[in-house]
Each structure stands twice: as C-alpha cells, then as structure tokens.
Amino acid sequence: MALRPVAEVQAELLAGASLCGDECCDLNAAFGRILREDIVAATDVPPAANSAMDGYALRVADLAEGRALPISQRIAAGHAPDALLPGTAARIFTGAVIPPGADCVVAQEDCRQSDESVEVAITPATGQHIRPRGQDIARGAVVVARGRKLGAADLGLLASVGVPACRVAKRLKVALMSTGDELREPGEALGTAQIYNSNRPMLAALISAMGGELIDLGIIPDTAEATAEALVQAAELADVVISSGGVSVGEEDHVKAQIERLGELKVWKLAIKPGKPLAYGRIAGVPFFGLPGNPVSSFVTFCLLVRPYLLAMQGVSDPMPDVVQAKVDFEWPKPGSRQEYLRVRLKGGVLSLHPQQSSGALSSVAWANALAIVPPGTTFERGEVIDCLSFAELGA
C-alpha cells in the first residue's frame, strides 16, 4: 500500500466522521462542551436603554448656562423609572433604565449637586453615556452558533439572553489500549528489555482535554488472540477505539492483521514523519485508530488526525487546527520524501528547533510548544518564514 499524503487522509477522515448523539446540558455544566444548536436571542441585550455611568439623566435642550435643574427622581438599577419631568434631571446609577424623555447622561464628576438640584459643568451631547436597547445583542440574532466549543464568555453570553440549558454533543466514549510485551506501567519494576508505558497517560490526557470519556483497557499481550479479544471488547464499549503500537510490519505486530480480519482497514501508512505506520478502519462499525508505538509518532498522529476526527464527530464546525507562520532560527538543507513535523519552540514570532528529532524522544515534545510543518521536498534557510501549529491549537 503506497504512502498517502497527510492532507488527503485528513480530508477523507473528516468526510467519513459520523455525528455522535446530543443531550440537554445545564448551562453551569456546559463549559468545554460542543454546542449542537444555534442559540437565538429571545430578547434584546440590554432589554432597555440604560446608563453607562453614575450621574444625571436629562434633556440637552433643558440646559442653560448657570442654570441648575431640580432633581425629580432617583433611579437605581433594577427599578423602573417614571417619565422625566420637563426641565428636571434624574439622579441615575450605572445600569439603571433611562427615563422616557431623557436624551443624555452626565457623569456625576461633571456636575455640581446641591440637596435638591444639580448644575451641569459641561455641554453634553445627545446620547452621551447611554447604552441603547439591543446594543450588545439584538432580538432574533444568533448568539452562539452550533459547532462551537463553549468557553466561559459563551456561557455568560447565553445567560445574558436567558438561556438556562442547551443541547451539546454527548461525551465520546474512547477506548484506549496499549500493545507490547515490553511495556510496564509506572511504579512497576522494569525487567530486561522492558520500558515504561508513556503513551497511555499522554493519550489519556489528550482524550480527556477534549472532553472524551476514557475507557482504559490497559496493556494487551502481543498475541493475535489477546489483540482480537481486546478489539472486540473495545468496539462493544466505546464510540471510538484507539490503540498504540502493533501497527507496523513485525511478526509481533498483530493489530493491523486483526483489524483486517474482524472489520475493515481503510488507511495504513502515511507520508508523514514521525508517524508513518498509522492505521484507520472499523470494527463492527466502530471507528478504530491504530497509532504508532513510538511516543512522538503517537503524539503527532493523534493531534493531526485523531483529534480533528473526534471533534468532527461531536459537530465542531471547523475541526482542523489553524496554521500560523513564523521565522526560523535554523536551516533545513536536506529535503525529505514525507511531510515532516518538527518539534519547535515558538517565541516572539521565531521558531527554535529541538536538537533531538527522533520519534522516540518524547522530551522534545515536552520542551516544544509547536510543530513546524516541512512539506515533502522542502528546504529553507535561517530567517525564512514557514508554517507551524501551536500546541494550543492541537489541544496539547
């Protein structure tokens, strides 16, 4: 099977991602969830013209040099005003409704007040310090569109139009399995030729960060029988199955063979570095991703292929990360045959390269905050501008 371009596979994956179900969620529990409906404002915000300052509401036409206006009423936020009597001013506080008949608010520091009257020391403009009705949100407008990951400001915005709950994507159940007889969990003693399982906590964190519900199947022995049993179990429990390791071409790499036997394999081997041995298919109709065992490869392929797919399943309108450009403080003189993702640090618009770019050097990922994108056949000199992806865009 020929190596396939990264962009081609990304597009294929997103096109084939089926929407998961949705549920009603209380606004107080909706942070980080994916909105699955357009929220339309049922009211104007603010619902009535109100004062932007503590001061006095009056009519500009009533002002004359040296003339004090009697104070006819006091208006606090949350209280309905009376109509403004001609030739008077109303004491008003921030957020209070503008009385009918007033056309400006003068800040209290621009006035001289006595017990029963106020003299204005400036010449105000019509509309001054008045927030008009619907200034922030007009009734009938879409406040937050479907497909958005709800942030703190979004929740405040929904509350401002009186929305107590909204429909969001259900949390995806993601089964995670690690393969390899060489793996041990942190805290266990290492034997000869054994290593600690670094992929499990890393992938679990990435899944959790995007709101997934993790089903941890642990470490699966390197046998065809154990691999098949784990895959069948995972497909019964989860919306998506992810494995790390076992998708290469060695005699002990059983995942690819069992996917082909139990379901269908749609993608295998990408023109990507790191991460070439990536598998995608289905088991009993459930999407499956087989990530490489090398930790950097596992990180990169999850962020670039699995994460956008999971976001698309939840209904995110634009699941692909935004690409930014930055100058490099290093050169890349030798063109490669695969699209490469270099671990770099972005600071002040400049990219610095980690000295170790091996697919097994997870320390390069911990040091970095971005991936520099180097297309096949590309070289560049120090100071050139290239594309990169920040870890913030990758959910890392």
Give domain status of residue 395, yes or no: no
Question: Are residues 154 and 91 located together in one domain of the fold?
Answer: no
What confidence category does residue 396 fall into, taking pLDDT thresholds of 50, 70 and 90? confident
SS3 7: helix
Peptide bond into 124 cis (omega under 30): no
Task: Residue 329: give the domain boundaries.
Answer: 324-390
Q: Looking at the predicted structure, is the pLDDT value of residue 201 above 50?
A: yes
Which residue from 100, 95, 118 is spatially nearest to 108, judged by alpha carbons?
118
Mean pLDDT of the chain: 92
pTM: predicted TM-score of the whole model, two decimal places: 0.87
Angle, helices 224-237 vs 255-262, to 10°: value is: 60
Give domain status of residue 331, yes or no: yes
Split into its structural domains, the chain has a count of: 4
Check which CATH number belongs to the domain holding 119 and give it: 2.170.190.11
Residue scoring higher pLDDT (357 or 251): 357
What confidence category does residue 115 fall into, taking pLDDT thresholds of 50, 70 and 90? confident
Question: Are residues 150 and 237 located together in one domain of the fold?
Answer: no
Question: Are residues 262 and 342 located together in one domain of the fold?
Answer: no
Q: What is the pLDDT of residue 251?
A: 45
Fill in the amino acid letter for 388: C
Q: Looking at the predicted structure, is the pLDDT value of residue 262 above 90?
A: no
Check which CATH number belongs to the domain holding 372 and give it: 2.40.340.10
Question: Are residues 328 and 288 located together in one domain of the fold?
Answer: no
